[in-house]
Amino acid sequence: MKYRRLAAHIHSDFSDDCDWPLIKIVRRLRWMGYDGAMVCEHDRTMTDEKWQLIVRTCEQISATGFLIVPGIEYQDPSHTIHLPVYGEIPFLGSSPAVPELLSHARSHGAVSVFAHPARRSAHDHFDPAWFADLTAIEVWNRKYDGVRPNTWALRTAAENNLMQFTALDFHGPRQLFPLSVRVRASAGDTAGGVVAAIFSGASMPGAIGTSPDRLADGLAGRALAGMEARRAALAPVIRRWESLLTGHRGMS
């Protein structure tokens, strides 16, 4: 069975913390072997007009053969809970109530995802009542989980029959990593078809050529845990030097 390999949770210069134009990101992802991307720009600077421009831009790029699914990353008022919603549905406004947002997404057939559970310990604030309308959980977010999957997210997804998302959370080249959401090619060549396929459960996570479940435990899990510990120790130093050299400090 053939699958379309998509890079999930992609920010571009439509967001306030990324300076990469979408077309530049597409060129890099295409070179890496991806077949498309799932974009989610922040709600905090979103307007109805900007959302329509994003949708049109995604359609124009998709017409070139690289499929782009438009989306918005919503955040709660405390900036702790983040929920990317993928699909061409009306913008709900900045920082809507989570139950209202999830119900809105589900009623429109959109895909809603609980993003980066490790960021600000968001998993400690997760409400089990959200399971009824939530589509998926990011079980591996490159920006916040680093080079190993999130065991809380894997366990929670399995126990509650939620889709697993492996996401880049792209803001710049540091987040480029072999993670993807794989969708059956039979979903078609449109963003709507891909969203409908994921919504119905016809997708699977991809991580370094295998499933994230296989990389959470055992020898592979221990190896990745060691790599992540070293990466996490060095990351603040690298970011500090990058900030000094470029004068750029992004939001997250």
pLDDT above 90 for 164 = yes
Q: How confident is residue 251, by pLDDT bands cut at 50, 70 and 90?
A: low
Contacts of 30 (CB under 8 A, 6+ apart): 66
The three-state (H, E, C) secondary structure of 60-83, written as one string: HHHCCCCEEECEEEEECCCCCCEE
User: pLDDT: is 86 or 3 the higher one?
Assistant: 86
How far is CA 113 from its chain centroid?
A: 8
Report the alpha-carbon distance of residue 116 to residue 232 in Å, rounded: 16
Per residue in 197-218, is it b (16+ CB within 10 Å) or e — as a string?
bbbeebbbbbbbeebbbebbee
Of 151, 144, 165, residue with least CA distance to 221: 151
Q: Residue 194 has what pLDDT?
A: 95
Q: Are strands 179-184 and 36-39 parallel, antiparallel or unpaired?
A: unpaired
Q: Residue 246 has what pLDDT?
A: 61
What single DSSP character describes residue 162? P
The region of weakest confidence among 29-38, 79-88, 239-248 is: 239-248
HSE on the CB side for 17, CA within 13 Å? 15
Q: Residue 236 has what pLDDT?
A: 78
Cα distances from 60 to residues 34, 55, 93, in angstroms, run 18, 9, 25
The region of weakest confidence among 113-122, 194-203, 239-248 is: 239-248
How far is CA 109 from its chain centroid?
A: 18
Average pLDDT over residues 167-171: 98
Of 162, 161, 198, residue with least CA distance to 182: 198
Report the alpha-carbon distance of residue 29 to residue 51 in Å, rounded: 23
Q: Residue 37 has what pLDDT?
A: 98
Q: Which residue has the tokens 């799932």?
A: 38
Average pLDDT over residues 111-129: 97
pLDDT above 60 for 177 = yes
Q: Which residue has the tokens 């549905």?
A: 89
Q: How confident is residue 242, by pLDDT bands cut at 50, 70 and 90?
A: low
pLDDT above 70 for 137 = yes
Q: Which CATH architecture has domain 3-212?
A: Alpha-Beta Barrel (3.20)
Q: How confident is residue 19, by pLDDT bands cut at 50, 70 and 90?
A: very high
**What are the structure tokens assigned to 207, written together?**
């991580």
The string of pLDDT tens digits covering residues 143-157 is: 999 999 999 999 999
Q: How confident is residue 1, by pLDDT bands cut at 50, 70 and 90?
A: low
Contacts of 119 (CB under 8 A, 6+ apart): 80, 82, 141, 144, 252
Name the burial class of residue 225, with classes exposed (0-12), middle (13-18) and buried (19+) by CB atoms within 10 angstroms of its CB: middle
Percent of the chain with pLDDT over 70: 94
In contact, 84 and 71? CB cutoff 8 Å:
yes
Q: How confident is residue 231, by pLDDT bands cut at 50, 70 and 90?
A: confident
pLDDT above 60 for 210 = yes
pTM of the predicted model as reported, rounded to 2 decimal places: 0.91
Average pLDDT over residues 68-83: 97
Of 34, 110, 111, 42, residue with least CA distance to 75: 42
CB atoms within 10 A of CB 102: 24
**What are the structure tokens assigned to 69, written together?**
């699914």
